[in-house]
């Protein structure tokens, strides 16, 4: 036999109308009602954030349920447990008494348990001659049984929300990747269009996304990114149609005008020596695809590609297919790294004009290697560009220092 719906706390613990309201809102379950206690606990864990409780509170609730001797919460068997704080602390993985009291109060405020305080505030039970509990003072688990359907529905909603959030993030990741690579290929291959403005809009959309967004914020960003992707595809579609029309118009003239122009395949290095494997490497005559403008300056100095990759191994991860075998692939990887590090297209173009496209790509590889120590990659590159224009900067010492640092790191980890 219990004392009724509403109970007041012992001692200095305050009573409030909100506590009265929460207790009166809990109806006594029917005598035939019962539910598996660990199922209710799993639902509470799933709905933890909506209930406003912490992980420690879940540990305390888990401990309270272990003191209920039956697998099911059954009102005919009594739903009040009366462990001491010392016993609860042991089963709650040794949390301190102060934390225990705070988390018990949180469970009460969340409407998951009720206090049934005795006249002196102790927790105990009166038993009859047969050893059956007639009256118990402690923590009443009735709210878990009474709210079982509500908690199950809440847990399902939370799980469904988590799925929607995950799918929205996945869709945003794919859309973001599509836009980034479409912009990069348009810049690399010189497609007509105001790509600086498109990239600026791309960066602006991502900048508006908070560091820890919720689902609605992710979906809003996804909608903006999908519109930008559609715009990029429309620009590229127009460009491809224009190229196709020009290609059809000149198709009949190609077998007559057979000039000595070099093909792309002829410009690619065809041996290990040409790829920078020896000090005799001479840079290819075709300049790197830069992101704005048509200037194609001659490189000041180019280093063996093998030496660059030994000094800056991280750049390899950003090459096509996760590898770099030619200078052209290094320069493509440098454009990806430029965007990732927040270097503006204008800053990279200035570096290409001052150093040459090969050396600008090498500079980006060096900056990536030291990105943990560089506050502003764009400002650092602009400084290198100005020093290069004045003849005060050479990539050689930087590459040698990085090679030496990498070799020392390899020896320490060996």
d(CA 313, CA 185): 23
Q: How high is the pLDDT of residue 296? A: 40
Residue 67 has pLDDT above 90, yes or no: yes
Is the separation of the CB atoms in 53 and 106 below 8 Å?
yes
Cα dihedral sign, 191-194-196-200: negative
Q: Tokens for 373?
A: 């120590």
List the single range of 150-159, 172-181, 291-300, 337-346 with lowest mean pLDDT: 291-300
Choose between 346 and 278: higher pLDDT: 346
Residue 192 has pLDDT above 90, yes or no: no
Torsion angle, alpha carbons of 373, 378, 380, 382, to 10: 170
Model confidence, pTM = 0.49
Give the pLDDT band of residue 399 (cuts 50, 70, 90): confident
Choose between 360 and 20: higher pLDDT: 360
Tens digit of pLDDT for each residue in 373-392? 888 889 999 999 998 888 88
Least Cα distance to 203 among 179, 231, 171 occurs for 179
- Total number of residues shown for the chain: 414
Burial grade of 397 (CB within 10 A; 0-12, 13-18, 19 or more): exposed
Tens digit of pLDDT for each residue in 227-266? 999 998 988 888 777 766 655 544 544 444 443 433 323 3
Q: How high is the pLDDT of residue 1? A: 36
Cα-based distances in Å from 413 to 64, 124, 312, 399: 49, 61, 18, 21
| Percentage of the chain lying above the pLDDT 90 cut | 32
List the single range of 150-164, 189-203, 268-282 with lowest mean pLDDT: 268-282
Residue with tokens 């003072």: 137
3-state secondary structure of 112: coil
Question: How many Cα atoms sit within 13 Å of 195 on the Cβ side?
Answer: 25
What are the residues whose beta carbons fall under 8 Å from the beta carbon of 7, sequence distance 6 or more? 23, 114, 115, 116, 117
Tell me the longest C-alpha to C-alpha distance in the chain: 115
Q: Tokens for 411?
A: 């020896």
Burial grade of 202 (CB within 10 A; 0-12, 13-18, 19 or more): buried
Give the pLDDT band of residue 5 (cuts 50, 70, 90): low
d(CA 74, CA 78): 7
| Percentage of the chain lying above the pLDDT 70 cut | 76
């Amino acid at each position: 036999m219990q004392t009724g719906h509403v109970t007041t706390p012992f001692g200095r613990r305050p009573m409030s109308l909100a506590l009265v309201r929460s207790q009166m809102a809990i109806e006594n379950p029917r005598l035939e009602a019962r539910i598996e206690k660990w199922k209710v606990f799993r639902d509470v864990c799933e709905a933890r954030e909506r209930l406003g409780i912490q992980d420690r509170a879940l540990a305390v609730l888990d401990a309270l349920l272990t003191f209920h001797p039956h697998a099911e919460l059954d009102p005919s068997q009594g739903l009040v447990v009366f462990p001491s704080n010392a016993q609860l602390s042991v089963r709650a993985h040794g949390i301190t008494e102060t934390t225990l009291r705070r988390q018990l109060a949180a469970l009460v405020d969340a409407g998951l348990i009720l206090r049934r305080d005795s006249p002196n505030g102790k927790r105990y039970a009166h038993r009859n001659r047969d050893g059956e509990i007639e009256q118990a003072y402690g923590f009443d688990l009735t709210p878990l049984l009474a709210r079982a359907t509500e908690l199950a529905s809440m847990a399902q909603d939370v799980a469904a929300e988590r799925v929607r959030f995950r799918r929205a993030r996945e869709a945003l990741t794919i859309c973001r990747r599509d836009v980034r690579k479409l912009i990069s290929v348009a810049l690399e291959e010189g497609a007509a269009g105001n790509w600086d403005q498109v990239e600026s809009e791309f960066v602006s959309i991502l900048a508006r996304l908070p560091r820890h967004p919720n689902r609605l914020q992710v979906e809003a960003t996804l909608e903006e990114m999908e519109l930008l992707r559609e715009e990029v595809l429309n620009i590229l579609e127009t460009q491809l149609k224009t190229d196709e029309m020009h290609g059809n118009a000149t198709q009949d003239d190609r077998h007559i005008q057979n000039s000595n122009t070099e093909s792309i395949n002829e410009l690619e290095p065809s041996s290990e020596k040409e790829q920078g494997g020896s000090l005799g490497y001479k840079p290819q005559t075709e300049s790197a695809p830069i992101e704005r403008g048509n200037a194609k300056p001659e490189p000041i100095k180019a280093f063996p590609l093998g030496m660059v990759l030994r000094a800056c191994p991280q750049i390899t991860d950003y090459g096509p297919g996760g590898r770099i075998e030619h200078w052209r692939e290094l320069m493509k990887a440098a454009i990806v790294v430029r965007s990732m590090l927040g270097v503006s297209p204008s800053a990279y173009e200035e570096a290409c004009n001052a150093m040459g496209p090969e050396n600008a790509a090498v500079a980006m590889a060096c900056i990536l290697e030291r990105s943990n120590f560089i506050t502003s990659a764009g400002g650092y590159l602009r400084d290198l560009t100005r020093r290069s224009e004045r003849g005060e900067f050479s990539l050689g010492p930087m590459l040698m220092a990085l090679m030496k640092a990498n070799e020392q790191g390899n020896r320490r980890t060996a």
